[in-house]
Amino acid sequence: MSPFSVYLSELRNRFGLRQTKLAEMLGYEQSYISGLELGTKSPTNEEFLTRLIRAFKMTAQEQDELAKVVKQSQQRFVLPREVHPDAFRLCSELWDKIDRIPLPQLQAIRALLSLDVPMIDLQLPEKVGSKETEAQM
């Protein structure tokens, strides 16, 4: 389940609504609501999100929370071209293991990513065959 799946299910339950009633309120099929809550459908439909905001008369803060869980629920990511090759390697390694990383390790990774301290510039190893490496030989 995605963060959006959990959010939608909790929102619906907080108001004591069944999926069929929520679907009727928003003008969608119950199967669409079910797919969103199971995480088999992605919350990328702007019209659906607009209807959800209106139906629940969401405050600006609630809309911000909704936007946050929608972003966290992306299923595809595109890396900017200018990122360091290690960013590509990290994403690839995470992708290969994402379904097998234990929850405590996921939480530790997230905690590291949330640190708001400047990182020390690390010296990257020189490319093999670079002028500096050749000069040191």
pLDDT at 65: 95
Residues 102 and 56 reside in one and the same domain: no
66: CB partners within 8 A, 6+ apart: 7, 49, 52, 53, 58
How many domains in the chain?
2
Residues 65 and 89 reside in one and the same domain: no
Domain residues for the domain of 91 are 85-114
Residues 68 and 90 reside in one and the same domain: no
CATH number (domain holding residue 14)? 1.10.260.40
**DSSP string computed for 21-89:** HHHHHHT--HHHHHHHHHTSS-S--HHHHHHHHHHTT--HHHHHHHHHHHHHT-S-----TTS-HHHHH
pLDDT at 31: 95
Residues 42 and 63 reside in one and the same domain: yes
Residues 45 and 98 reside in one and the same domain: no
Residues 67 and 33 reside in one and the same domain: yes
Residues 13 and 52 reside in one and the same domain: yes
pLDDT tens per residue, the chain (137 residues)? 899 999 999 999 999 999 999 999 999 999 999 999 998 888 878 999 999 999 999 999 999 999 999 998 988 888 998 989 998 999 999 999 988 999 999 999 889 888 876 666 555 555 555 444 344 44
pLDDT at 128: 52
Residues 8 and 63 reside in one and the same domain: yes
Residue 95 lies in a domain: yes
Report if pTM > 0.75. no
Residue 60 lies in a domain: yes
pLDDT at 113: 86
